[in-house]
Amino acid sequence: MSRTILSTLSPAAFRALLGTATSASRVVPVDATWYMPNSGKNGLQEFLEQERIPNAGFFDLDAISLPGSKYPHMLPTYSIFNQAIQELGIRKNDTLVVYDKSGIFSSPRAAWTFALFGHPRVYLLDNYITYKQAEYQLDLKPVDTLSTPLPISEAEFKTKYDEQVIEYEELLDLVQTNKLAQDYYAFDARPHDRYTGKVPEPRPGLSSGHVPSSLSLPFSKVINADNKTYKSKEELLEIFKRDFDLDLSNSDFLKGKKGIIVMCGSGVTAVVLRFAIQSVIGLDVPIRVYDGSWTEWASRAPSELIVKTH
């Protein structure tokens, strides 16, 4: 199976990349703006009514998801994603540049989803706010829709899914058999006070706390104070060394473990961590996303497996 190019891209590099585009191999911006439910904002409405990068499509994290799920924006099925891509007009030969208007928040999740479903060239714009401040062109033109097939077969997607996603049942078994810490480093990207249980979750009625043996790594730690750009590779390596005594400068740090698991509230900012480790640090180790994340765990796990440490 061919490997997807999945990396960050500065606004200036994006503008240079546009110069390489042809009708057969387009460079397609994808707006993946999503906000927390209590923010009062709506990414799709902003896309339709406010500025956007010229010729961008919109990736709706809520709509392109598993229908009927009790948990927000769970990964869609192969057929649902295929239909969504056809409606977006994205083709296999396109190079995708994914962004969100917050800077670095929901776009890593969308970029990873494209890569998971086999799109060969996906970049994360680091970041839209800097792009806008540089006064690069913006517009409000409607997006054309072109029919295109998904770039991998359903069997290939299943293989990638098993490699990059962990579901509740497998994680529960790892916790109950005391093998989570033995087999994985599991990082939780939520704010630390939600991890400890000191403050409530933003979703009413959902307990805060954390998965046993998971480690607190708020996604805000891997991005700069302006919440717009990733910290440098050197800064990220220092964070892992200082906070977890882990040397991520090479893959030997796993010491027999199977890889890394990332989670958060609903599977969005977990992928901010995934990008930091894989694309900014450049570490080639297995990283699995717990798609249901804390919303699913707190709803399904036995109460004794919801840990509070405040």
Asked whether 281 and 255 are in contact (CB, 8 A), the reply is: no
The single residue of 61, 125, 248, 264 carrying the catalytic annotation is: 264
Contact 75, 113 (CB under 8 A): yes
3-state secondary structure of 299: helix
Q: How far apart are the C-alpha atoms of 225 and 227, rounded to whole Å? A: 5
Q: Hey, how many other C-beta atoms are within 10 angstroms of the C-beta on 280?
A: 21
CA distance 111 to 101: 14
Strands (E), the chain: 5-9, 27-31, 57-58, 95-99, 121-125, 165-166, 184-188, 215-216, 259-263, 287-290
Whether 256 is catalytic is no
Q: 282's torsion region: left (phi>0), alpha (psi -120 to 50) or beta?
A: left
Angle at 161 between CA 159 and CA 167, to 5 degrees: 130
CB 188 within 8 A of CB 263: yes
The SS3 call for residue 166 is strand
Q: Can you give the length of the chain in residues?
A: 310
Listed in sequence order, the residues at least 6 apart from 58 whose beta carbon sits closer than 8 Å to its beta carbon are: 30, 31, 32, 33, 43, 44, 47, 88, 143
Supply 276's token pair: 């930091």
Q: Give residue for tokens 């977990």.
A: 270
3-class secondary structure, 103: strand
Query: Which residues are designated catalytic?
Result: 264
